[in-house]
């Protein structure tokens, strides 16, 4: 992993595969094509495409400046602090998917943070990735992103399931079952639904498209064999993080569904 990182960094400086700023500017023409298509088709999305594209560019430039500072001055503590910020932001985003659930954003943040801490901790403990900010931050960012998606889908499905099956759940509660017992069948189903996108993507990785980490390393001039090893680690850590985040969101979210007296909120 260490060799891959250093090779990628060295190759990226001189590789013609890495676009210059003029190339970045020219890529704006692709956004203009999308805007024209949306306008001609009367989709009402032309303005949204422009806003999203500008926002993405500004955010990436800002993050690039922050990362440059972290890598050169803040060290590993700064890298972990930035990951903490990522977890908080991801918790807010995923929590909005569970609108209507009591303390949904807290649930999402805790689930994402726990999944990211365990996954990244294992990788660092066994030396799979280097304990350097330029490695920890991007790898941790991928873990947080995958956890956010899994937690968000889990909470969204939980709220929908509780609303649709409210009579059934309340009937079970009336028979003397606890909240966990009354919701158990629905919990299993929503977990399956939440994890299917991650599992489907894992099954076809490399067959339909080359994943981001592998593509980036190959474009930077790294050997495909090295890039494949890196991507295998990435895919496995994303699967683990998604499962833990979904399970954490389901467990904590389920507790928020019911009052201490086992009444459905």
Phi-psi sector, 19: left (phi>0), alpha (psi -120 to 50), beta: beta
As a whole number of angstroms, the distance between CA 33 and CA 27 comes to 10
Low-confidence residues in the chain, pLDDT < 50: 1-14
Token pair belonging to 245? 């985040």
Bridge partners (DSSP) of residue 258 are 264
User: Which pLDDT score, from 0 to 100, does residue 12 have?
Assistant: 44
What per-residue confidence (pLDDT) applies to 239? 93
Alpha carbons 32 and 29: distance in angstroms, whole number: 5
Q: Coil, strand, or helix at residue 177?
A: coil
Distance CA 232, CA 178 (A): 42
Tokens, residue 181: 């017992």
What is the reported pTM? 0.81
Torsion of CA 120, 126, 129, 134, to 10 degrees: 70
pLDDT in tens, 177-222: 888 888 888 888 889 988 988 888 888 877 766 667 777 777 777 7
Cα(253)–Cα(67) distance, rounded to whole angstroms? 33
Beta bridge partners, 264, equal 258
């Amino acid at each position: 992993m260490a060799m891959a990182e250093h090779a990628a960094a060295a190759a990226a400086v001189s590789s013609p595969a890495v676009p210059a700023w003029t190339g970045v500017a020219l890529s704006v023409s692709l956004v203009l094509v999308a805007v024209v298509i949306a306008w001609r088709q009367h989709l009402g999305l032309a303005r949204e495409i422009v806003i999203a594209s500008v926002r993405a560019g500004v955010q990436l430039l800002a993050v690039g400046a922050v990362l440059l500072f972290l890598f050169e001055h803040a060290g590993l503590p700064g890298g972990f602090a930035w990951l903490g910020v990522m977890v908080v932001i991801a918790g807010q985003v995923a929590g909005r998917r569970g609108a209507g659930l009591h303390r949904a954003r807290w649930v999402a943040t805790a689930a994402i943070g726990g999944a990211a801490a365990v996954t990244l901790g294992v990788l660092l403990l066994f030396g799979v990735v280097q304990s350097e900010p330029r490695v920890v931050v991007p790898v941790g960012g991928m873990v947080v992103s995958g956890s956010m998606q899994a937690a968000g889908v889990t909470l969204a499905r939980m709220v929908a399931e509780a609303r649709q099956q409210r009579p059934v759940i309340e009937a079970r509660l009336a028979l003397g079952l606890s909240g966990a017992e009354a919701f158990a069948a629905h919990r299993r189903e929503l977990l399956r639904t939440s994890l299917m996108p991650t599992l489907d993507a894992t099954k076809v990785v490399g067959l339909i498209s080359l994943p981001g980490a592998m593509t980036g390393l190959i474009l930077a001039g790294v050997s495909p064999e090295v890039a494949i090893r890196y991507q295998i680690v990435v895919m496995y850590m994303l699967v683990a993080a998604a499962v833990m985040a979904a399970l954490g969101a389901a467990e904590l979210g389920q507790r928020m569904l019911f009052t201490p007296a086992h009444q459905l909120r």
